[in-house]
């Protein structure tokens, strides 16, 4: 990818390389995609997951880790400069399945960052923090949280931790409310929420290296024709997406139409707003 940023760039004159990046969730969908791309920005990428991330590749360290194990996370974080925290359950599930990795695990990551003096975390939050807004609304990061399920609540908890650890300990975080990051937009909703992988990489680079971010929340979304999210609150990052869902519009719009009362066409969170109960 040609990592050329746009005019007035806050990264002008700022080093975009460090010694060691920790990537949690390296065996997950987005972790697997970003695993090699992060090597542009560090001498070593330490990759970790509860699942087996496979053998180490060049310029990698591989550490399997249960994020719910505080001491294991403490050891995992030692010696890193930046944490890219993608680890955790990434879909709507019962709360007891969300709790260990998404809530206890995120707390353990921040505690380990504090104990080891890590000054920057990139937290993979989610658009599901605000999933109960309607698709006829445009919101920014200052809008009241309206999580659409247990998963959204866990990401809101992570954003709360990020604010606490900045205010109390000075650890800076960029919370990425990621939309739908896949090779292509799969349906009509994703025409508005799609985030291309090149745009995600640009966003990660900025989240890691733009100075003085405090705790910044940014929606992770490409330059789609239709969009429900206004990123004016994160202008300091200088994120300027270069991809768009338009190449996938014809295919998505050729899918059978959904009923007007279907959550996937009413709410920004789509089907997440009605997921569950899980066998109760």
User: CA–CA separation, 219 vs 33, rounded Å?
Assistant: 19
Instruction: Report yes or no: 65 and 72 within 8 Å, Cβ to Cβ.
Output: yes
Which is catalytic among the residues 41, 151, 165, 219?
Answer: 151
pLDDT one digit per residue (tens) for the chain, 280 residues: 334 444 458 888 888 999 999 999 999 999 999 999 999 999 999 999 999 999 999 999 999 999 999 999 999 999 999 999 999 999 999 999 999 999 999 999 999 999 999 999 999 999 999 999 999 999 999 999 999 999 999 999 999 999 999 999 999 999 999 999 999 999 999 999 999 999 999 999 999 999 999 999 999 999 999 999 999 999 999 999 999 999 999 999 999 998 988 988 999 999 999 887 664 4
HSE, CB side, 13 Å, CA atoms: give it for residue 222. 26
In the block, residue with structure tokens 């760039």: 9
Domain 18-274: give its CATH superfamily. Answer: NAD(P)-binding Rossmann-like Domain (3.40.50.720)
Residue 150 to residues 104, 228, 239, 273, Cα–Cα distance (Å): 14, 22, 29, 10
Question: Is 197 a catalytic site residue?
Answer: no
């Amino acid at each position: 990818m040609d990592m050329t940023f746009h005019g007035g760039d806050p990264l002008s004159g700022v080093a975009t390389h460090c010694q060691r990046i920790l990537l949690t969730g390296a065996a997950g969908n987005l972790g697997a995609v970003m695993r090699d791309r992060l090597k542009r920005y560090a001498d070593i990428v330490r990759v970790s997951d509860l699942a087996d991330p496979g053998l180490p590749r060049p310029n990698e360290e591989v550490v399997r880790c249960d994020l719910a194990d505080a001491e294991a996370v403490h050891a995992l974080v030692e010696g890193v400069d930046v944490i890219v925290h993608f680890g955790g359950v990434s879909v709507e599930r019962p709360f007891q399945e969300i709790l260990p990795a998404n809530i206890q695990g995120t707390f353990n990551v921040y505690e380990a960052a504090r104990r080891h003096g890590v000054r920057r975390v990139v937290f993979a939050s989610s658009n599901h923090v605000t999933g109960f807004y309607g698709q006829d609304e445009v919101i920014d990061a200052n809008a009241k949280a309206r999580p659409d399920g247990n998963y959204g609540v866990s990401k809101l908890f992570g954003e709360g931790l990020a604010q606490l650890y900045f205010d109390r300990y000075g650890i800076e975080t960029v919370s990425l409310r990621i939309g739908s990051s896949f090779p292509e937009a799969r349906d009509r909703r994703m025409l508005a929420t799609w985030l291309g992988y090149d745009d995600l990489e640009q966003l990660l680079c900025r989240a890691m290296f733009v100075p003085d971010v405090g705790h910044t929340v940014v929606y992770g979304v490409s330059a789609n024709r239709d969009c429900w999210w206004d990123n004016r609150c994160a202008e300091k990052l200088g994120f300027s997406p270069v991809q768009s869902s338009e190449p996938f519009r014809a295919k998505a719009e050729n899918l059978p139409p959904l009923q007007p009362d279907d959550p996937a066409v009413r709410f920004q969170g789509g089907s997440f707003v009605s997921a569950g109960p899980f066998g109760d």
